[in-house]
Structure formats: structure tokens, C-alpha cells
């Protein structure tokens, strides 16, 4: 019997997250994810972060921000913000820098995201609307 993977994602209509959304669509279509739950979230469109929860216990954050700029502040302030305010088991950063390993939150593994090309998705077919309208 295949493992049942329930995947909950917070939908922020940012084009920077399209590749990730498309990936989850494909995983559901291929039955790798048994259930994809998509919930609209509010957030800063200039700070596109995607939070994903697997089976209500594994928390993953996909960060498509350029640079280390979670808050207004210098590099050190941002690194400390990252270390003290991120709650995730895994963190994937588009503009990954090795220094992030020194400031990873407790229990969190940080990896490069590596996506930098345009792609579209069809999550709006799940009854979501574009909050920008």
C-alpha cells in the first residue's frame, strides 16, 4: 500500500511561486500526493514565501526572495531575524548563501531552491481567486 501524503499549501498569488505551485499540481496528478489542500493566505506580495505542511507535521518553507531581506535592516539583523523567527523543518532559499547554515533556526535544515525560470500553474481551478483584483 502506498503511503498517504496530505499536503497543505498556503496560496499567495505571486508569480515568483508559480514553479512551486506547478510542482505540487504535478505531484497530485501523478498521485504522489494523495490530497492537496490549497488555502489562500494574506501576505506581502513583495516577500513571496510559501509554507507547506506535510501530513500535519512536517513544515517546509519555500523562499523566493532575492537576498537576505526578510525585514528592513542590515545583513546581520536579517540573519538574526531568520534564526529567531522562522518555524520550519526544511527551508528552501532561492538566493541561498552558505552563511544561512550558521543562522539556521533550531531543527531546521536549509537548502538552495534553485528555481529561476517562468512557468504557469492552474491552482485557480481549485476555486481560488487572484487577490490582486
**Residue pLDDT, tens place only, 62-104:** 999 888 999 999 999 999 999 999 999 999 999 899 999 999 9
Does residue 91 belong to any structural domain of this protein? yes
- Residue 74's contacts (CB-CB under 8 Å, 6 or more residues apart) are none
Does residue 98 belong to any structural domain of this protein? yes
Whole-angstrom Cα distance, residue 73 to residue 81?
10
Does residue 127 belong to any structural domain of this protein? no
Determine how β-strand 49-54 pairs with β-strand 58-63.
Answer: antiparallel
- Candidates 18, 51, 48, 42; CA nearest to 122 is 18
Does residue 47 belong to any structural domain of this protein? yes
Q: How many domains does the chain have?
A: 1
Q: How far is CA 94 from CA 17, 32, 57, 71, 130, in A?
A: 11, 24, 24, 17, 24
Instruction: Answer whether residue 53 shows pLDDT above 50.
Output: yes
Cell of 78: 536579517
- Domain range for 19: 6-117
Does residue 20 belong to any structural domain of this protein? yes
What 3-state DSSP class applies to 3? Answer: coil
Percentage of the chain modeled with pLDDT above 90:
63
Does residue 25 belong to any structural domain of this protein? yes
Does residue 96 belong to any structural domain of this protein? yes
pTM of the model: 0.83
The backbone torsions φ and ψ at residue 105, rounded to the nearest 5 degrees and listed phi first, read: -60, 155
Does residue 125 belong to any structural domain of this protein? no
- Would you say 78 and 66 are in contact if contact means Cβ atoms under 8 Å apart? no
Amino acid at each position: 500500500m502506498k503511503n498517504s501524503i496530505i499536503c497543505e499549501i498556503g496560496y499567495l498569488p505571486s508569480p515568483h511561486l508559480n514553479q512551486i505551485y506547478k510542482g505540487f499540481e504535478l505531484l497530485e496528478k501523478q498521485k504522489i500526493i494523495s490530497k492537496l489542500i490549497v488555502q489562500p493566505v494574506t501576505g506581502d506580495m513583495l516577500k513571496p514565501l510559501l509554507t507547506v505542511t506535510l501530513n500535519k507535521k512536517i513544515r517546509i518553507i519555500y523562499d523566493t526572495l532575492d537576498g537576505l531581506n526578510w525585514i528592513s535592516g542590515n545583513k546581520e539583523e536579517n540573519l538574526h531575524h531568520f534564526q529567531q523567527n522562522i518555524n520550519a523543518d526544511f527551508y528552501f532559499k532561492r538566493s541561498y548563501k552558505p552563511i544561512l547554515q550558521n543562522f539556521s533556526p533550531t531543527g531546521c535544515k536549509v537548502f538552495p531552491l534553485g528555481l529561476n525560470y517562468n512557468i504557469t500553474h492552474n491552482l485557480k481551478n481549485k476555486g481560488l481567486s487572484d487577490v490582486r483584483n
